[in-house]
């Protein structure tokens, strides 16, 4: 299944049915009076977040969603049937925006959340509604209200506990495949992931979700490369894991590049809790490793963990550091028992 995180949709709620002008006509009933029924209500357009989806690919093949209109009223005081609603099922974490792509209408972050996007028009009154003591035989009825037509954007921001950041070829996909069942593309030549990947990571009988996004390059905030279009997928993360290629010539400069792009995209994202790890340490001699670690710690002003996604050296320590940031937001209810697992 292809990944799609932005889609444009056109919606329209159903129009209300028109009221009916009718009079009762039966044998031996001289003054039957008005009996026109009201029109039915038009269908609404809803959006609902459902589990099991992680892409908006379905909206590439269908962009128009029109709810049914209500039926017209009929004689004998019969009200028209209401139009059927239509529901757009979207992945959890989907934002719904106006046509300007800036005004947020709703942010669906939990399964089962629903939001009304367009209300159906009310049905018109039949002539029975206008009967009064001074107007015994009204000959007018109201038309139904028209439906609402809107153009909206759906933007998916994956919900993950931890987000992976780094330059292309920093080893993010290798790390994700080493700690989870996710199978992103991995090769022995430089390339960058083209779409985000999710994996469920387990450490010390705890589990959390990790998201791997395409690598950033200098100038991404200005649209270079894939730009910062995928940074929205780590906005909801509780902690960021910043991987740095230990085989690079300037590890401090590589770290500075990512931090600058985070700040240019969103100051809040730059201030998010972050764990920094120097990757591919199995390919570096100890003296060079110590120099690069010291330079990196001086650049970021904090500790740097050492790891290798291939040999898995230092990987458990990195996962424990991530869980230490995630656990407080989970609460005691979600924490699992530390006793051995039993069937």
Question: If you count them, how many residues does the chain have?
Answer: 343
- How would you list the strands of the sheet with 45-50, edge to edge? 86-91, 45-50, 114-118
> Residues 67, 12: contact at Cβ < 8 Å?
yes
> Residues 161, 239: contact at Cβ < 8 Å?
yes
Provide the 10 A C-beta neighbour count for residue 275: 21
Chain-centre distance for alpha carbon 198: 13
The annotated binding site is made up of 166-173, 191-195, 212-215, 279-282, 308-310
The annotated binding site for GTP is made up of 166-173, 191-195, 212-215, 279-282, 308-310
> Residues 71, 20: contact at Cβ < 8 Å?
no
Helix (H, G, I), strand (E, B) or coil at 76: coil
Instruction: Residue 50: name the closest of 1, 2, 93, 3 by CA.
Output: 93
The annotated binding site for Mg(2+) is made up of 173, 193
Non-local CB neighbours of 103 within 8 Å, separated by 6+ positions: 97
Instruction: Residue 203: name the closest of 186, 178, 185 by CA.
Output: 178
Work out the burial of residue 88: count CB atoms within 10 Å of its CB; fewer than 13 is exposed, 13-18 middle, 19 or more buried.
buried
User: What is the DSSP code string of 262-310?
Assistant: HHHH-HHHHTS-EEEEEE-GGGS-HHHHHHHHHHHHHHHTS--EE--TT
> Residues 153, 6: contact at Cβ < 8 Å?
yes
Give the integer Cα–Cα distance in Å for 286 and 124: 81
Burial 7-40, CB ≥16 within 10 A → b, else e: bebebbbbbbbbbbbbbeeeeeeeeeebbbbbbb
């Amino acid at each position: 299944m292809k990944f799609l995180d932005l889609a444009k949709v056109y919606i329209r709620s159903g129009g209300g049915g028109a009221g009916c002008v009718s009079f009762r006509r039966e044998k031996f009933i001289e003054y039957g009076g008005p009996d026109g029924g009201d029109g039915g209500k038009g269908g609404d357009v809803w959006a609902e977040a459902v589990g099991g989806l992680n892409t908006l690919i379905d909206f590439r093949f269908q962009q128009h969603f029109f709810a049914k209109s209500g039926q017209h009223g009929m004689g004998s005081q019969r009200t028209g049937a209401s139009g059927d609603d239509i529901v757009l099922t979207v992945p959890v974490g989907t934002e719904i925006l106006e046509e300007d792509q800036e005004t947020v209408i709703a942010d669906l972050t939990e399964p089962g959340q629903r939001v009304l996007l367009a209300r159906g028009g009310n049905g018109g009154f039949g002539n029975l509604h206008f009967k009064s003591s001074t107007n015994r035989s009204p000959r007018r009825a109201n038309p139904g209200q028209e439906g609402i037509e809107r153009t909206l954007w759906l933007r998916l921001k994956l919900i993950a506990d931890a987000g992976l950041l780094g330059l292309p070829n920093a080893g993010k996909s290798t790390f994700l495949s080493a700690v989870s069942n996710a199978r992103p593309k991995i090769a022995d030549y430089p390339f960058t992931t083209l779409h985000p990947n999710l994996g469920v990571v387990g450490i010390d009988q705890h589990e959390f979700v990790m998201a791997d996004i395409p690598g950033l390059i200098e100038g991404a905030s200005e649209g270079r490369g894939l730009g910062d279009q995928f940074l929205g997928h780590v906005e909801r993360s509780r902690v960021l894991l910043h991987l740095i290629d230990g085989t690079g010539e300037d590890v401090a400069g590589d770290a500075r590049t990512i931090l600058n792009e985070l700040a240019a995209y969103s100051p809040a994202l730059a201030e998010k809790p972050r764990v920094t790890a120097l990757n591919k340490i199995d390919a570096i001699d100890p003296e060079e490793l110590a120099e690069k670690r010291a330079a990196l710690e001086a650049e970021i002003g904090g500790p740097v963990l050492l790891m290798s996604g291939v040999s898995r050296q230092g990987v458990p320590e990195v996962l424990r550091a991530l869980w230490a940031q995630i656990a407080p937001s989970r609460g005691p209810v979600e924490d699992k028992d530390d006793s051995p697992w039993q069937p």
